[in-house]
Amino acid sequence: MIPLLWFSLLPAAVAFSVTIPCSPADGAPFVSPSLVSLSIEQDRWPEWVGTSSKNQFFLNTLNNLKTITGAPPDIRIGANSEDKTNFSPEVKYNEDIFPAPTAVVPYPEALNITVGNAYYLVANHLPRGTHVTWGVNFGQFNITAAVLEATAIMNAFKSPPFQAAGVTLDFLEIGNEADLYANNGLRPAPFTSSEYVQQWTTFATNVSEAVNLSSTDTKFLIGSFAGSSSKTTGFSPQAIYAEGVLDSNPGKLIATFSEHHYSGSFCTGNGGLLQDLMTKATIRSNLTIYSTDVVATHAQKLDYILGETNSYACHGAPGVSNTAGAALWALDYALFAPQIGISKVFFHVVSTMVFEVEFPNFFQGIGFKYSLLQPVALNRSILDGSPLATPLPPHVQPLYYSAIIAAELRGCKDEAQISEITVNDTRIAGYAAFEAGELVRAVFINSQAFLQGSTNRTSIHLDLEFTGKGPSTMTVKRLAIGFADDTSGVTWGGQTYETTNGLVEGKLKLEYAPISKGLDIAETEVVLLDFSRGKGHEDTS
């Protein structure tokens, strides 16, 4: 006899029925195995991947995801620092000049970056099958600088080590958030989208001719705007399409529009509340503002991505962006994005920087509060820049679990679909995953924040129904979180990724239950239901 391992520790305050479709609806999105991808600042890139040797911690965290979906996350190297980067053959990796840290921005981006050939060559450390986007300097309005960078990038990816490593360059990105250039002094005000199109076309023409881009599989990625007017005026995909960005020779090499988006800003030191970030309706409103942009982009037969995104701009809000509750936000955010036609979500991250000035072995840590992981040790607090008595070793942050759960929901099949489940509750979000048109898994997210100091943690009971002949049994895997504002101690199915090497540890704990029992889901909890394992699946190690 198979033991029944269904249990609930908390009283259910509310119960209602949820209908799960047994087959995908017409138009249900096919979801990329690299749906959750990473955007990395250029100034700290070598510390992420390693220089003379690989950064094994970082690579382990990527390979964890590759093991689940069959493909590693895509990697975008660029962002704010790409418009401060110049190439010199005299430099080996990179030489950076940083401003002084502040309590609001403990780890600022570099003011100036000079890179050499080895800076690009170390990308061959990435896992086999990694697809890369690399940014070149558009902000300083120096075509020669952009051409030198692009040439070094293309030469690296054409080299034998890259051919052997199976790491490919999908896109060159010319400039980061050009819609802000007039605000940050990179262009005289006013700087219009029409001027952007003219200047981008000039740069792209020079770059594409210098590296013979038309003879390669590498394409251009356009946009990378900080916001959108969603009109044919101002900075938006509609505006630049109307202004002819696709009509030139380099325009014909554009394959994707990239939008940047944050749910709020901590740039002046004012953070958002954790519950505000996690709220189901807020997540949807933050993404559906781009629905018309997505439609306009797809009409041009281009892909649409969030090429840089995260919780709060300017490196995140302390006590919010670095918490376990933010993992629930990120999971719902990433899974909802494909529902409106966004194919990939690049969570912006940054790491540490080692440099030698007066002290040859001084280890200078750099970290962002909203990073999924910190792959090099830190010696200053990511919250306020205060010195740490003991360096914080490489580690994953709670947000990393959102990538793991999204990967497990999606699975490793070539063509997997994920569609949102209608749940008539402001706290509960749900998604169903299909393989070859057959329901295989579902995930439910309770975004009610259970915060430190709270004592009454309620749960919601879901009675599960199906549109057709559904399964009779399920296995249940839970994301266990003490409090929404915890910054560590999270487990997924009883296991942890908060390890010294970034690899999962611990005994896997799954519940086996009949569908008729339904499901209890607590405040600040995620549950994954697997309908494909069959009867007899018990706790495993």
Mean pLDDT, all residues of the chain:
88
Pairing of strands 131-136, 75-78: parallel
User: Which residues, in sequence order, are bridge partners of residue 134?
Assistant: 77, 172
Give the least confident one: 102-106, 142-146, 196-200, 328-332: 102-106
Question: Which residue range forms the structural domain that includes residue 434?
Answer: 12-28+415-530
371 & 422 share domain: no
DSSP string, 334-382: HHHGGGGT---EEEEE-------SSSTT-------TT-SEE-S-EEE-T
Check residue 319 and give left, alpha or beta (phi > 0: left; psi -120 to 50: alpha). Answer: left
261 three-class SS? strand
235 and 133 in one domain? yes
Residue 344 and residue 491 in one domain: no
358 or 393, which is more confident? 393
pLDDT in tens, 322-335: 789 999 999 999 99
Domain boundary among 375, 402, 429: 402
Residue 379 has pLDDT above 90, yes or no: no
Say whether both 377 and 260 belong to one domain. Answer: yes
pLDDT over 60 (residue 39): yes
Residue 519 has pLDDT above 90, yes or no: yes
pTM for this prediction: 0.91
Ramachandran region of residue 388, left (φ > 0), alpha (ψ -120 to 50) or beta?
beta
Within a domain: 229: yes
Q: Please report which confidence band the pLDDT of residue 7 belongs to, taking 50, 70 and 90 as the band edges.
A: very low
CATH of the domain at 513: 2.60.40.1180
Average pLDDT over residues 117-123: 97
Asked if residue 383 is part of any domain, the answer here is yes
450 and 376, same domain (yes or no): no
User: What does the pLDDT read at residue 384?
Assistant: 59
- Report which residue type is found at 261: H
pLDDT of amino acid 103: 63
Instruction: Please tell me whether residues 330 and 421 are part of one structural domain.
Output: no
What does the pLDDT look like over 250-291, one tens digit per residue? 999 999 999 999 886 554 434 447 888 889 999 999 999 999
Tell me the CA distances in angstroms from 81 to 125, 193, 449, one per residue in order: 22, 22, 35
The token pair that represents 474 in the structure block:
């399920």
pLDDT of residue 3: 33
d(CA 387, CA 73): 32
407 part of a folded domain: no
182 contact partners, CB below 8 Å, separation of at least 6: 188, 189, 190, 191
Answer yes or no: is 5 within a domain.
no
Query: What percent of the chain clears pLDDT 70, i.e. is strictly above it?
Result: 86
> Which range, 12-16, 363-367, 447-451, 536-540, is most confident?
447-451
Q: Hey, what amino acid is at 108? A: P
Q: Give how many domains the chain has, as a whole number.
A: 2
465 and 351 co-located in one domain? no
Q: Mark whether 248 and 189 lie in a shared domain.
A: yes
Q: Give the mean pLDDT of 359-368.
A: 30
Left if phi > 0, otherwise alpha if psi is -120 to 50, otherwise beta: which for 396? beta
pLDDT band of residue 464 (cuts 50, 70, 90) is very high
* Position 77 pLDDT exceeds 60: yes
CA distance 165 to 534: 38
Rg of the chain (C-alpha set)? 23
- pLDDT band for position 374 (50/70/90)? confident
Residues 354-382: what's their mean pLDDT? Answer: 48
Q: Supply the DSSP symbol for 397.
A: -
What CA–CA distances, in Å, run from 458 to 13, 14, 430, 461, 521?
6, 9, 19, 10, 9
CATH of the domain at 107: 3.20.20.80
Give me the DSSP letters along 19-49. EE-SSPPTTPPB--TTSEEEEEEGGGHHHHH
Given this model, what pLDDT does residue 352 score? 34
**Do residues 326 and 455 both lie within one domain?**
no
- Let me know whether 371 and 421 are in one domain: no
pLDDT of residue 388 exceeding 60, the answer is: yes
Count of other CB atoms within 10 angstroms of residue 247: 11
pLDDT grade, residue 380 (50/70/90)?
low
Please determine, for residue 4, whether its predicted confidence score (pLDDT) is greater than 80: no
CA angle, corner 130, sides to 118 and 284, nearest 5?
Answer: 120
Mean pLDDT of 22-50: 95
Q: Which residue has the higher pLDDT, 490 or 103?
A: 490
pLDDT at 202 over 70: yes
Residue 317: per-residue pLDDT: 54
Report phi then psi at 20, rounded to 5. -105, 125
Does 214 have pLDDT greater than 80? yes
Residue 3 located in a structural domain = no
Residues 446 and 486 in one domain: yes
Amino acid at 15: A
* 392/205: higher pLDDT: 205
Q: Determine which of 21-25, 89-93, 374-378 has the lowest per-residue pLDDT on average.
A: 374-378
Burial of 452 (0-12, 13-18, 19+ CB in 10 A): exposed
CB 149 within 8 A of CB 136: yes
Tell me the average pLDDT across 352-380: 47
Any domain includes 4: no
Task: Report if residue 502 sits inside a domain.
Answer: yes
| Per-residue pLDDT, 392 | 76
Place of tokens 């129904």: 465
Handedness of CA 491, 494, 500, 503 (dihedral sign): negative
For the segment 7-25, the average pLDDT, to the nearest whole number, is 78
